[in-house]
Structure 1
Amino acid sequence: MFLKIKKNLGIYMEHNGLEKQRLVPVTSNFLLNLDHISELSFYTIKELKIRYDLEGHEFELPINTRVIHMQMSYLYASHKDHVKSNDQVVERQYYKLYFFPENVEPYEELRGAIEEKVANL
């Protein structure tokens, strides 16, 4: 099953391809394959957090911002060699979708679609 994340719904995203603590608005539709997600969590931000847009402007994530954090499987990982120790670091791709408190409907819709495919024990 694919998740279609639609543009212009007030959803912000963070992922490995961005610099740390950078958040971008979702400005085009994209699909995520649920079969390639190895870990998934839902949480709500309980304290004020600072993030940055692509131009480096600071903005605050409001309290009660909802987050869907998707950690992709090892098929979607990059390998970084450490020269000194010859170790390899495997960094799995992740996507975090942020839904501000005034934007609860898309969060509930997306979470509901995911929960339909989950066996709750």
Structure 2
Amino acid sequence: MFYDNIYKICNEKGTTPTTVLKELGFSSGNVSKWKKGSVPNVDIAYQIAQHLGVSMDYLVTGQETHDSALMVSGLDPEWIEIITHIPDDKQEMCKDFLRTHMVIPEKYADRKRG
């Protein structure tokens, strides 16, 4: 149920659904509707998800799906596959490697443009 999900997420974030609605400029009366099983429209749900820093899937279903993480991040699925399989003890080394290759060194910049 939507109310259970938003209540749980708000609790994790140290806030309440009523406070979130007020911060977004929506009527706090929506909370009582959600307690009875109603759900917000997509626009309101999206704004709530953005405000709370969670995906729409997590807000609506209470579960984060791999597909929603891909859609939110906009990353190539192959990158997600590679990244999720890097062993814990190798992650820092991989991050360092990628950081050093994020910027084209000046001495190669002219070759890349031509």
Tell me which interval the TM-score lies in, with the shorter structure as reference length: under 0.3
Q: Greater relative contact order: 1 or 2 (C-alpha under 8 angstroms, separation 6 or more)?
A: 1
Q: Which has the higher helix share?
A: 2
Q: Which protein shows a greater Rg?
A: 2
